[in-house]
Structure 1
Amino acid sequence: MLDVRRLQVLRAVVTSGSVTAAAAHLGYTPSAISQQVAALEKQAGVALLERVGRGVRPTAAGRLLTEHAAAIGRQLAAAEAALADLREGRTGRLAVRYFATAGSTLVAPALARIRADFPGLRVDLRMTDPDDPLPEVARGHADLAIVVRPRDKRHDGVRLVHLLDDAYRVVLPTGHRLAAKRAIDLAELAGERWVGSESPGPCLDTVLEACAAAGFSPDFAVESGDYATAQGFVAAGLGVSMIPLMGLAGRHPGTVVRRVRNPEPVRAVHAAVRDASLGQPAVEGLLAALRAATM
């Protein structure tokens, strides 16, 4: 197999017209250039240069290899430029996973910003509800995911970057006995029928842990697959529900929303990023855009 570096040395000799000029151009000694050409001739099995006065000129084989060396040089330059674009985040692919309520509030404005900064970047964007996207990040199937996790939770190979704390509110029917209060102690909801708004996982765990701290376990009379449906069930008088602020963008007219205290359930929203992806310009740019979207 022909050596690419030696091909470029031959090209320098042919284009400059002499071994001495090629040596000066490449920063080698003339003897080093001659050795490289001799080694290439041995690989090729044919003479590549012939002497003409004080200079040299290529043989037919030398001209052929010089033309190919020029093509290889252009390809290498194109490869280096493409690699630089990829390394700097100007091109490439970024796989992002998110849950539904983070879509419009966090992901959409963040992606609008990063696409302005990295116009050649392709974003593979997928919603994962009700599945937990963190394993996709851990396995390398995604570069970044929006997840709910406790503030101090750690995962091998994955960095959790805190974005915001999303407090839960209690959603009551308009005629409920507690609807006139501005803030409700969580223990006051112990005897209520509940409308479930969360699938099993970190979000539901946040509510259950808060209720346990208040001394009770919720009595779920109805299960709902999303926040809008849960509000409809509440408005129909089927129970009360706990919904995070990010899930209350559209409020049902038949309900009232009140703050909860003692304790206030709060889910911590993070960006989960592979340790190996940290430092990449596109990933760091997306993290900065997500932080900006929380302000």
Structure 2
Amino acid sequence: MLDVRRMQVLRAVVTSGSITAAAANLGFTPSAVSQQVAALERETGMSLLERIGRGVRPTAAGALLTEHAAIICRHVAEAELALADLRAGRTGRISIRYFATAGQALLPPALATLRREHPGVQVDLKLTDPEDPLPEVRSGRADVAIVVHRAADPVGGGVRLVHLLDDPYRVVLPRGHRLQRKRVIELAELAEEPWVGNEWPAGPCVRLLLDGCAAAGFTPSFVVESEDYANAQGFVAAGLGISVIPRLGLGNPHPGVVVRRVTRPEPTRVIQAAVRESALDSPPVACLLDALRAAATSAG
């Protein structure tokens, strides 16, 4: 295999027209330059330079290697420039995974900031509902994921969690319900109510809610299962049961329902950004995290 550094020395000799001039340009001694050229001639098995008066000129093989050395030099310079652009966040790609309510409340303003500050960065954005997006980060398929993560669940190596928002649950009652007059309702008061599910298949948000019910001493009886918060509110408005929905999922309450706080306990889902540790130093990722935190502050 040809030594690229020796090829660059040869190019310097050919460009300057003499070993002495090349040595001065490179900061080497003439002897060191001659040794590099001689080593390259041994590698190729061909003569690369011939003397003309006090200078030298390339043989056909020397001219060929000089031409390729110039190409290599240009490619190295282009690679260094591309790497500098990537390091500065002027180019690159960021993969983001999210669940629906986080997408509605947090991602739009955060992505607008990312696009404004890093317009050359491509964004790979994918909704993962009903799947948990955290495995996408663990496996390296995503740089950042918006997740609901229970403290008891393992995170996995190579992943950092960044807190964004505490999102408390609210009870959604049909208008005219016996508990409507109360501003705050204890979770145990809902034990005998028919419940309308709002996430199917069940994911981390449902598990958090069931943990809260267990702490209040009961297991809810689900009479209707729906796939999202809007549909659940429709079933509640029709009088089929009550539902307990995170606050972020109640951006547009159904006109046929009332929303009340719950307590003892107040179930709360902790929304976090799961980030690959190897991506934390990326300027676009840092920008996205700052923008997500700002959006979470506004949403909270």
Q: What TM-score, normalized to structure 2? A: 0.93
Aligned partner of 2:282 in structure 1 is 280
Aligned partner of 2:237 in structure 1 is 235
Shift of 1:266: 0.3
Trace 1:207-218 onto structure 2 (pairs within 5 A).
207-218=209-220
Aligned partner of 2:31 in structure 1 is 31
Aligned partner of 1:159 in structure 2 is 160
Q: Residues 132-175 of structure 1: CA distance to partner in whole angstroms, max 9, x if unpaired?
A: 11111111111111110124754222111111100111001111
Aligned partner of 1:107 in structure 2 is 107
Shift of 1:98: 0.2
Aligned partner of 1:203 in structure 2 is 205
Structure 1 unmatched runs, 5+: none
The CA distance in 1 between the partners of 2:115 and 2:28, in whole Å, is: 45
Q: Residues 220-274 of structure 1: CA distance to partner in whole angstroms, max 9, x if unpaired?
A: 1111100000000000000000111111112111011111111111000011112
Q: Residues 181-202 of structure 1: CA distance to partner in whole angstroms, max 9, x if unpaired?
A: 2111111111111001123221
User: Does the CA-based 8 Å contact 1:154-1:160 persist in structure 2?
Assistant: no
Shift of 1:57: 2.1
The CA distance in 2 between the partners of 1:25 and 1:270, in whole Å, is: 56
Q: Residues 90-113 of structure 1: CA distance to partner in whole angstroms, max 9, x if unpaired?
A: 222211110000112111111111
More deviation in 226-235 or 188-197? 188-197
Aligned partner of 2:40 in structure 1 is 40
Aligned partner of 2:295 in structure 1 is 293
Shift of 1:36: 0.9
Provide the aligned length of Structure 1 versus Structure 2.
295
The amino acid across from 2:273 in the alignment is A
The CA distance in 2 between the partners of 1:151 and 1:21, in whole Å, is: 68
* 3-state SS, counterpart of residue 136 of structure 1: helix
The CA distance in 2 between the partners of 1:223 and 1:166, in whole Å, is: 22
The CA distance in 1 between the partners of 2:150 and 2:24, in whole Å, is: 63
The amino acid across from 1:230 in the alignment is A
Trace 1:38-117 onto structure 2 (pairs within 5 A).
38-117=38-117
Question: Does 2:224 align with 1:222?
Answer: yes
The amino acid across from 1:74 in the alignment is R
Structure 2 unmatched runs, 5+: none
Q: What TM-score, normalized to structure 1? A: 0.95
More deviation in 46-55 or 252-261? 46-55
* 3-state SS, counterpart of residue 294 of structure 1: helix
Q: Provide the aligned C-alpha RMSD in A.
A: 1.6
Shift of 1:13: 1.1
The amino acid across from 2:72 in the alignment is I
Question: Does 2:168 align with 1:178?
Answer: no
The CA distance in 1 between the partners of 2:209 and 2:281, in whole Å, is: 35
Q: Residues 14-38 of structure 1: CA distance to partner in whole angstroms, max 9, x if unpaired?
A: 1122222222222222211111111
Question: Does 2:178 align with 1:193?
Answer: no
Shift of 1:88: 3.0
* 3-state SS, counterpart of residue 253 of structure 2: coil
Trace 1:132-151 onto structure 2 (pairs within 5 A).
132-151=132-151
* 3-state SS, counterpart of residue 121 of structure 2: strand
Structure 1 runs, 4 residues or longer, greater than 4 Å off: 151-154
Give the fraction of aligned pairs with identical amino acids, expressed as a percent.
68
The CA distance in 1 between the partners of 2:118 and 2:26, in whole Å, is: 36
* 3-state SS, counterpart of residue 104 of structure 1: helix
* 3-state SS, counterpart of residue 242 of structure 1: strand
* 3-state SS, counterpart of residue 275 of structure 2: strand
